[in-house]
A and B are shown apart, each in its own frame.
Chain A
Amino acid sequence: DAGVTQSPTHLIKTRGQQVTLRCSPKSGHDTVSWYQQALGQGPQFIFQYYEEEERQRGNFPDRFSGHQFPNYSSELNVNALLLGDSALYLCASSLFRDRVRTQPQHFGDGTRLSIL
C-alpha cells in the first residue's frame, strides 16, 4: 500500500523562476493538501484540493497555484520565485468522506526547495 509520494526530493532554483512540485496521494485517498514549512518552523497551510477544485486556501499570494488530476494526484506551482520561498513543501492526503471522523491525514516526505 503506497503512501504519499512527492517528487522531486530536492530542487534548486533561482529567483524569478517557476517551479512545479508533484504529489501522489495515499492509495484510496481523494483529497490533497499542501503545506510550506520554513526551516525550524511549523508547516503553514497553502491550499487543499478535492474533486479537482481548490476547496480551501491559506494566506499565500496568487503566485502559488495548484491543480488536481482525475487520478487525485496534485501539483503545486510557484511563479516568480523569491528567496523567501525556500522551504520544505509537504503534501498530505486524506479521504474526504472520512472528514466527520477526522481520520488523520497522511503526509509525504516533502520536497526541499532552495532558491538561490
Chain B
Amino acid sequence: AQTVTQSQPEMSVQEAETVTLSCTYDTSENNYYLFWYKQPPSRQMILVIRQEAYKQQNATENRFSVNFQKAAKSFSLKISDSQLGDTAMYFCAFMKQGAGGTSYGKLTFGQGTILTVHP
C-alpha cells in the first residue's frame, strides 16, 4: 500500500513571496504519478500540477513548480509570487500506474497543508 505524508499542517507566506510545501511518499512501485491539488473553502478539489515518475524533469505550471526526488521519495511544491487567491488547503496525491490502467483513478492523498497568504 502507498502512503503520502505532508509534515506541515499549516504554512503562511506574505503576498508576492515564495513558499515551499513538503510531501514524502512511500511505495514499492516504479511507475506512478504524483499530483498537487488545491482545495479552497469552496471545497472543490483543483489540480495544480502533476508529475510522471519516469520523467526526470521537474514539472512547472506558471508560478507553480515541483522538486521531484524519486530516490528520496520526495515531491515538494514551490509557489512563487504568492497571491491571495492561493490561500487554500493543498494536498499531495499519489497514483500508481497499473497494467491496462487497472489502477487508474485511485488517488492516495496526504493529510494536507493549510496555506495562508497574507497581504
Contacts and interface: CB of A to CB of B under 8 A. Distances in A.
Asked if A and B are interacting partners, one says yes
Interface of A: 31, 33, 35, 40-45, 48, 55-56, 58, 88, 90, 92, 94, 96, 99-100, 102, 104-105, 107-110
A105 B102 CA distance: 15
B46 to A, nearest CB: 8
23 contacts: A33-B107, A35-B107, A40-B112, A42-B93, A42-B109, A42-B110, A43-B109, A48-B105, A48-B106, A56-B106, A58-B106, A92-B45, A92-B105, A94-B104, A96-B104, A99-B101, A102-B52, A102-B95, A102-B97, A104-B47, A105-B47, A105-B105, A108-B44
Given A42-B109, A43-B109, A88 B43 contact: yes
Nearest to B4: A42
B75 to A, nearest CB: 14
Contacts of A104: 35, 47, 50
Interface residues of B, number: 27
A106 B109 CA distance: 15
B44 A41 contact: no
A109 B42 CA distance: 7
A43 B45 contact: yes
Interface of B: 4, 33, 35, 42-47, 50, 52, 91, 93, 95, 97, 101-112
A105 B93 CA distance: 12
Contacts of B111: 41-42
Contacts of B103: 56
Contacts of A41: 111-112
A86 B65 CA distance: 35
A40 B108 CA distance: 16
